[in-house]
Structure 1
Amino acid sequence: MLPLRLLTVTLCALFLAACARSPVVQLYDGPAKADSQVLTVKVPSEIEVFTINGKELEGVNTFFATDFKELKLAPGRYEILAYYKELWQLDVDNHEIVKTNPANFIIDGKAGDQWQLGFDKPQNVEEARAMEDSFSGWASNTETGEKVAAKESDLILNRGFLAPITGEEVTTATSNSIAPQNAAGANAANAQKSTSVAPGASYLDTLKAQWKQATQQERREFLQWISE
Structure 2
Amino acid sequence: MLLRIATFTLVSLFLSACARSPVVQLYDGPARSDSSIVTVRVPSELEVFTINGEEVEGVNTFFSTEYKDLKVAPGRYEILAYYKELWQLDADNHEIVKTNPANFVVDGKPGEIWVLGFDKPQDVEAARAMEDNFHGWAENPASGQKVAAEKSKLVLKRGFMAPITGEEVTTPTTNSVAPLATGAAAAAPAAQAAQATYLDTLKAQWNQATPEERREFLQWISQ
- TM tier, smaller: 0.7 to 0.9
Tell me the TM-score normalized by structure 1. Answer: 0.80
Aligned to 1:80, the other structure's residue is in SS state strand
> Contact 1:132–1:158 (CA<8 Å) still a contact in 2?
no
> Contact 1:84–1:102 (CA<8 Å) still a contact in 2?
yes
- When residues 11 and 154 of structure 1 are mapped into structure 2, their CA distance, relative to the original with a 3 A threshold, is closer
Q: In the alignment, what sits opposite 2:70?
A: 71
Alignment of 1:145 with 2:164, yes or no, is no
- When residues 7 and 137 of structure 1 are mapped into structure 2, their CA distance, relative to the original with a 3 A threshold, is same
Q: In the alignment, what sits opposite 1:205?
A: 200
Shift, 1:8, TM fit: 4.3
Alignment of 1:129 with 2:120, yes or no, is no
Q: In the alignment, what sits opposite 1:35?
A: 34
Q: In the alignment, what sits opposite 2:176?
A: 177
Q: Percentage identity across aligned positions?
A: 67
Q: In the alignment, what sits opposite 2:165?
A: none
Alignment of 1:24 with 2:26, yes or no, is no
Q: In the alignment, what sits opposite 1:222?
A: 213
Tell me the TM-score normalized by structure 2. Answer: 0.81
Shift, 1:211, TM fit: 5.2
- When residues 57 and 7 of structure 1 are mapped into structure 2, their CA distance, relative to the original with a 3 A threshold, is closer
Shift, 1:9, TM fit: 4.7
- When residues 220 and 144 of structure 1 are mapped into structure 2, their CA distance, relative to the original with a 3 A threshold, is farther
Q: Name the aligned partner's letter for residue 213 of structure 2.
A: F
Shift, 1:188, TM fit: 2.1
Q: Name the aligned partner's letter for residue 203 of structure 2.
A: K
Shift, 1:225, TM fit: 4.0
Shift, 1:209, TM fit: 3.1
Q: CA offsets per residue over residues 71-98 of structure 1, 9 Å max, x none? A: 0000000111111111111112211111
Q: CA offsets per residue over residues 18-50 of structure 1, 9 Å max, x none? A: 111111111111111111111000000010111
Which consecutive residues of structure 2, in runs of 5 or more, have no partner in the other structure? 163-173
> Contact 1:99–1:158 (CA<8 Å) still a contact in 2?
no
Q: Name the aligned partner's letter for residue 139 of structure 1.
A: A
Shift, 1:161, TM fit: 2.8
- When residues 40 and 11 of structure 1 are mapped into structure 2, their CA distance, relative to the original with a 3 A threshold, is same
Q: Name the aligned partner's letter for residue 105 of structure 2.
A: I
Shift, 1:222, TM fit: 2.6
Alignment of 1:86 with 2:85, yes or no, is yes
- When residues 32 and 209 of structure 1 are mapped into structure 2, their CA distance, relative to the original with a 3 A threshold, is farther
> Contact 1:21–1:64 (CA<8 Å) still a contact in 2?
no
- When residues 9 and 192 of structure 1 are mapped into structure 2, their CA distance, relative to the original with a 3 A threshold, is closer
Shift, 1:116, TM fit: 0.4
Shift, 1:65, TM fit: 1.2
Q: Name the aligned partner's letter for residue 82 of structure 2.
A: Y
Q: Name the aligned partner's letter for residue 113 of structure 1.
A: E
RMSD of aligned alpha carbons: 2.7
Shift, 1:136, TM fit: 0.4
Aligned to 2:47, the other structure's residue is in SS state strand
